[in-house]
A = this chain, B = another copy of it.
Amino acid sequence: MSYQYYLNIACPDQPGLIASITGAVAEAGGNILDLNQHTAVDLNMFFLKALFALPKDVTDEGDRELFELNFRGRFTPLAERLSMTWELASKDKKRRVALLVSKTSHCLYELLIKYRDGELDCEFPVIVSNHPDLSPIAAQFDIPFKVVDPLKGKEACEADVQAILEDYSIDLVVLARYMQILSGEFTARWKERIINIHHGFLPAFKGAKPYHQAWFKGVKLIGATAHFANEDLDQGPIISQDVLRVSDSASIAEFVRLGKDIERKVLLDALSLYLSRSVFVKEGRTFVLR
């Protein structure tokens, strides 16, 4: 098996982009395995995601690093000329993901079961919680479980979280029904690296008790939204959403129960998209290349 790389590009649209990019990869010796691109005509922006393989004779880490250095050197002038935001990432390095939870288990279980089944291309080195309740689940899956204490105050508690994330060299934070609002400082530090699951079809039902809001409004479908967390509560760029048709005979309690299945599904989807480098953010929204 040869080494593989993801190449992600966003830039203003213009003629000849695909040929320029695929040509540059070919010249560097890369063989494109998969390519996905689209143009957002309403913003005149172009997005491209490619997966390419290195030549078979690149077989050790040293050669791989040399290739990477060489590629960056060649590609930078093109990227500058075309005003690209771009990223080159080895497919072989698994991202380290911290799960933050409170008392509710359905999202946590979903991610852990899919992980055990080999369906998530990442590592879960640690679970962090502000309650001890889910500790037995962490134990079942042999993952360290760290409890932080919100009674210490938000600042002190977030400092503890931050320390844990650093200890475990975390790349991405997933809020799997973590029932604490994060400070603007924290979300700024982890910009576009915190995925939250909101139990409403945003932007319709921001804030607390979205299923109550939905019920009293009499909506006919309820939803959930996975998004990047930022300083505006429930306003960060949306990564994945889904809905479920509900009967008007369903109570608020049933909305809550039914909603759990959408929440876990949407959070899983958002994490998978992030891990496969499919999510671009531009002008406050995402562009997902599935």
Q: Which residues in A have some Cβ–Cβ distance to B below 8 Å? A: 15-16, 18-19, 22-23, 25-26, 31-35, 37-42, 53, 105-106, 109, 113, 117, 119, 140, 201-205, 215-221, 223, 237-238, 240-243, 247-249, 251-253, 257, 260-261, 265, 283-290
Contact = CB atoms under 8 A, between A and B. Distances in A.
Given A23-B26, A38-B249, A203 B221 contact: no
A149 B185 CA distance: 57
B15 A53 contact: yes
A221 B237 contact: no
Contacts of A261: 265
Contact of A237 (B32, B113, B218): B218
Contacts of A53: 15
A45 to B, nearest CB: 11
Nearest to A50: B18
Contacts of A140: 140
22 contacts: A16-B31, A18-B22, A18-B32, A19-B31, A23-B23, A35-B35, A39-B249, A40-B251, A106-B117, A109-B109, A140-B140, A201-B201, A202-B204, A203-B204, A216-B283, A216-B284, A217-B238, A218-B238, A218-B286, A243-B243, A248-B286, A261-B265
- Looking at chain A's contact residues, is the secondary structure mostly helix, strand, loop, or mixed? mixed
B106 A248 contact: no
B31 A25 contact: no
The winner among A39, A119, A217, A289 for most chain B CB atoms within 10 A is A217
Copies in the complex: 4
Contacts of A215: 42
Q: Which 3 A-B pairs have the closest CB atoms?
A: A218-B285, A38-B249, A19-B26
A42 B252 contact: yes
A284 to B, nearest CB: 8
A241 B220 contact: yes
Contacts of A22: 18-19, 22-23
Given A39-B249, A220-B238, A220-B288, 4 more contacts: A15-B31, A35-B35, A105-B113, A217-B238
Contacts of A286: 218, 248
A25 B19 CA distance: 8
A289 B203 contact: no
A134 B140 CA distance: 13
Contacts of A117: 105-106, 260
